[in-house]
Amino acid sequence: MPEEYIHQSVMVREVLDALKPRSGGKYVDGTVGGAGHSLAILEASAPDGFLYGCDLDPVAVRVAKTRLAAFEGRWEIRENNFDRLAEWVPAGQCDGVVLDLGISSALLEDASRGFSFERDGPLDMRFSPMTEITAADVVNNLSEEELENIFRNFGDVKEARKIAREIVRVRETGEIKSTLQLAKLVQRVSRTKEPPLPQVFMSLRIYVNDEFDVIERGLDSALKVLKPGGRLAVITFHSGEDRIVKNFGRIKSRDYEVVGEVDLPEFRRTRKPILNIVFKKPICPSEGEVRNNPRARSAKLRIFERI
């Protein structure tokens, strides 16, 4: 079992407080990763709580199955996208769903997966080997304008245009193939004290894995499998993700839906709210957790309850 997959999971106590797993309950972990949250849910719902889990990363799925072997018979784990949960998890029957979005430290540290700007590897960045495009495809084929939009929209990169222009110039003489090749390019053109490496890499990752659209579909899928009173706990790590989750909560907790392009009174149709927002503000990790696990620093947890 690749040991690096067993990392510290973020906000486990807070997720347990939110979902309150109990024996006999059914739970979903849509981002199993190293199985930290899954394990905690299975322990807390002993002796017979059941867990449906999935992850796009086949290595994570293998690790999770090994790590949860002691609970055999109480889980079903698939290599799958959480936006497809409703296709295989029983509708309207689950007591809790957790989504711990983004990338695991194991993926980040594995140079061969191409997510890190500190380790040299192929510019890949796919969570799943089934995803058709890699970061290298994006960097070497999209237009300057498209690249600029990716950096700006998904990474808030201030120097988006300058970086996109340099990519297009450099690739005329040969493909940009490796993570460090791209990292050095960004460092070379950036005029800021801290070159926007994390932001450039994150924006490519979001684009390659279609993460923002997937989150929206995944939240809808989660709603379909929850039973009334069931809870959804979502951990995000940056403002773009959190905005989508917050907005989802706002829309689903309203007593109307919008039947046009814009939310104007004449386009509103009354309906019952679908969920309650359990806490208005997101929950942040404790100081102790951040001290022990710097990765938790930017985490935000939002909790919703199916009506």
Provide the binding-site residues for ligand SAM, judged by CB under 6 A.
Answer: 9, 30-31, 33-37, 54-57, 60, 81-83, 100, 102, 104, 127, 214
Nearer to ligand SAM, 106 or 167 (CB): 106
Nearer to ligand SAM, 60 or 160 (CB): 60
Contact 161, 191 (CB under 8 A): no
Nearer to ligand SAM, 10 or 160 (CB): 10
- The least distance separating ligand SAM from the CB of residue 6, rounded to whole angstroms, comes to 8
- The least distance separating ligand SAM from the CB of residue 95, rounded to whole angstroms, comes to 18
Phi-psi region of 247 (alpha: psi -120 to 50; beta: other; left: phi over 0): alpha
Distance CA 284, CA 304 (A): 15
Q: Please, what is the angle between helix 211-225 and helix 239-252, to 10°?
A: 40
- The least distance separating ligand SAM from the CB of residue 146, rounded to whole angstroms, comes to 22
Contact 252, 236 (CB under 8 A): no
- The least distance separating ligand SAM from the CB of residue 76, rounded to whole angstroms, comes to 15
Contact 231, 279 (CB under 8 A): no
Distance CA 168, CA 243 (A): 31
Comparing every residue's Cβ against ligand SAM, the nearest one is 33
Nearer to ligand SAM, 179 or 209 (CB): 209
- The least distance separating ligand SAM from the CB of residue 24, rounded to whole angstroms, comes to 23
Contact 305, 231 (CB under 8 A): yes
**What are the counts of helices (DSSP H) followed by strands (DSSP E) for the chain?**
12, 9
Residue type, 202: M
Nearer to ligand SAM, 166 or 300 (CB): 300
Which value, in Å, is the radius of gyration of the alpha carbons in the chain? 20
Nearer to ligand SAM, 66 or 187 (CB): 66
Nearer to ligand SAM, 24 or 58 (CB): 58
Contact 37, 12 (CB under 8 A): yes
CA distances from residue 154 to 50, 150, 198 in whole angstroms, order as listed: 36, 6, 11
What values do phi and psi take at 199, rounded to 5? -70, -40
- The least distance separating ligand SAM from the CB of residue 254, rounded to whole angstroms, comes to 26
- The least distance separating ligand SAM from the CB of residue 214, rounded to whole angstroms, comes to 5
